[in-house]
Amino acid sequence: MNLLECKSLKVGYGCEKPALIECANFDLAAGEVVALMGENGCGKSTLLKTLAGFIEPLSGQALLNVDGVSFKNVRELGLRQVARNLALVRMSNVAPARFTVREFVGLGRMPYSGFLDGRSADDERIVESAMSLLDVLHFAERPVAELSDGERSRVYLAEAVAQQVRVLLLDEPNAFLDIPRSHALFNMLRNLAESKGMGIIVSTHSMEYAEKYCHRIMVVDDGNVRVGRAHEAREMGLFDWTERK
């Protein structure tokens, strides 16, 4: 089942500037992880923000499928419904000033909470599980603002996991992680997608992680989008852009 479908999607910041991506046709299926790759400035982050509904597409469609119904723009859904189905995690987000790790991860349950943010024992269990999965339980009571970049990135991911979305968009989640934690992160993303039927798009500069842990690879190159199976990426020339001088 496709959770997200893009048809002739044109991405950019307005008619007065050249489009960053001229035509994107791809889909995201339940249970798969897709690596999003390309040179700096090619439009990866802009594409993710467009899929998340923060930026209007210049043309074309990005269809979000929710319970068998397709929405051509996530803004057609209410905020609560969007939050239950799709999340964009950006590691460059400013750390909240006074939230502890536990409180911040708990924000992921807000789309499911009732009046006055009343949380159930099940909500608390999900928060605890998300923190355990991302290995942040041992500093759950520390302020998020005092964490290292690597620690904070895991907290941001834990909040998204607690949110239990169907579509997870990640903008360079391993940018501040060391090699062992990067491997653990990508392994966790694959297991998460396959076990929970999620669709995940993860922006990364690492060919190694993309090939080893992702099902497919999507490359943005000179305004065009090409997609292929991870094990066929080299044969298809999807990494040719990395060898330019």
Tens of pLDDT, residues 218-239: 999 988 899 999 999 999 999 9
Contact 50, 9 (CB under 8 A): yes
Nearest to 28 by CA among 183, 232, 193: 193
With cut-offs at 50, 70 and 90, classify the pLDDT of residue 245.
Answer: low
With cut-offs at 50, 70 and 90, classify the pLDDT of residue 118.
Answer: low
Give the pTM.
0.87
Q: Residue 116 pLDDT more than 80?
A: no
Q: Domain extents for the chain?
A: 2-95+166-243
Q: Residue 43 pLDDT more than 60?
A: yes
With cut-offs at 50, 70 and 90, classify the pLDDT of residue 71.
Answer: low
Nearest to 84 by CA among 64, 104, 57: 64
Domain 2-95+166-243: CATH superfamily, name plus number: P-loop containing nucleotide triphosphate hydrolases (3.40.50.300)
Tens of pLDDT, residues 13-35: 876 677 888 878 899 999 999 99
Q: Of 39-48, 65-74, 146-155, where does mean pLDDT reach its minimum?
A: 65-74
Using the structure block, give the residue that is written with the tokens 């035509």.
23
DSSP state, residue 109:
G
Q: Residue 114 pLDDT more than 80?
A: no
